[in-house]
Amino acid sequence: MQRKPFTAPTILVTGSNGQVGFELRRSLAPLGRVVALDRTACDLSNPAALREVVRHTRPEVIVNAAAYTAVDRAETEMEAAFAINGVAPGVLAEAARMAGSLLVHYSTDYVFSGEGATPYTEEDAVGPLSVYGKSKLAGEQAIAEAGGQAIVLRTCWVAGAHGGNFAKTMLKLGCARDSLRVIADQFGAPTTAALIADVTAQIVSRAWLHGDREAFPAGIYHLAASGETSWHGYASEVLRYAASKGVALKVAPEAIEAIPAAAYPLPAPRPSNSRLDTSKLRETFDIHFPDWQLGVHHLLDQVLS
């Protein structure tokens, strides 16, 4: 059989120094030529520069991992949050449509109000509580308005080996403090940046680069590890696993005090229910989501090594 010569596609990644961006550099590398740009090389708050980067790079796929993620600071920096999370995704979607490329973008459980106790589906009504959530919802809407082929992956409780996150903070505090109090009435699934990056690569490879582009199932999808826990359950698992690896903790996992969110007020309100129903993503792209503990253990193995 005569094989077609393989021409490596160009994949543009923004926010390459973030938790997810860092993992995308690894997961997308076998698929093509990855052009991974950090904030200095590709500033999302500058629409003209952003268009120029896309024009110059001529990517077949754009993966937007850049975002304004300072949830509490966004309450007072509304303009910056909306420029980066609300406007820039629309600029990228427009540029992708004009170039005939696919845009992959990430959004968040914070687009929901967090009422109820069942996992949110893609069809559920949105109702963000915070400026950050509103700015991310504006980004989803800007992408839809721009048209073209785009996939929006809403995820939650992200942690990566590269960057700051809850798991690393708990590990540090568990070694340094005499006691720990952690919120026990907010629920979600800790999802690693590595899992998000791997799923992204699978979608891009199977459905876009090697699939029927005309039939590409664009739209919004929920992406999260399987299972659920509270922040308190998450912290307990982090310390339990660290202890099993010989880390000298000052706080025993079972000694972490469970507190209500009301006892730990923050500038930006958080949803109590961050559960995401991932059926649509699993069924459309044949993806299996491992239990959240597996990702957290893998992350800790990297952090502790």
Ligand X SMILES: NC(=O)c1ccc[n+]([C@@H]2O[C@H](COP(=O)([O-])OP(=O)(O)OC[C@H]3O[C@@H](n4cnc5c(N)ncnc54)[C@H](OP(=O)(O)O)[C@@H]3O)[C@@H](O)[C@H]2O)c1
Known catalytic residues are: 132
Q: Which is nearer to ligand X, 82 or 249 (CB)?
A: 82
Q: Which amino acid is at 275?
A: R
Q: Sort strands 187-188 and 149-155 into parallel, antiparallel or unpaired.
A: unpaired
Binding region for ligand X (CB under 6 A) out of 16-24, 181-189, 254-262, 286-294:
16-24
Among 34, 44, 104, 201, binds ligand X (CB under 6 A): 44
Q: Which H or E element spans position 48?
A: helix 47-57
Of 137 and 256, the one with the shorter C-beta distance to ligand X is 137
Question: Closest Cα partner for 112 from 94, 99, 126, 102?
Answer: 126
Distance CA 288, CA 297 (A): 18
Is residue 274 within the footprint of ligand X (CB under 6 A)?
no
Q: Do 266 and 198 contact (CB within 8 A), yes or no?
A: no
Rounded-to-integer distance, Cα 91 and Cα 80, Å = 15
Scanning 3-11, 43-51, 121-129, 252-260 for contacts with ligand X by CB under 6 A, the matching segment is 43-51
Task: Answer yes or no whether residue 69 interacts with ligand X by CB under 6 A.
Answer: yes
* Helical pair 88-99 and 47-57, crossing angle rounded to 10 deg: 30
Residues 160-179 that bind ligand X (CB under 6 A): 163
Task: State yes or no: residue 45 binds ligand X (CB under 6 A).
Answer: yes
For position 19 contacting ligand X by CB under 6 A, the verdict is yes
Residue 157 contacts ligand X per CB under 6 A: yes
Using rule CB under 6 A, residue 62 touches ligand X: no
Helices (H), 178-245: 193-203, 231-244
Return the bridge partners of 51, or none.
Answer: none
- Taking the C-alpha atoms of residue 170 and residue 231, their distance in angstroms, rounded to an integer, is 10
State yes or no: residue 190 binds ligand X (CB under 6 A).
no
**Total binding residues toward ligand X, as defined by CB under 6 A:** 27
112 near ligand X, rule: CB under 6 A: no
Report if residue 28 touches ligand X, rule: CB under 6 A: no
Residues contributing to the site for ligand X (CB under 6 A): 14-15, 17-21, 39, 42-45, 65-69, 84, 106, 108, 136, 155-158, 163, 193
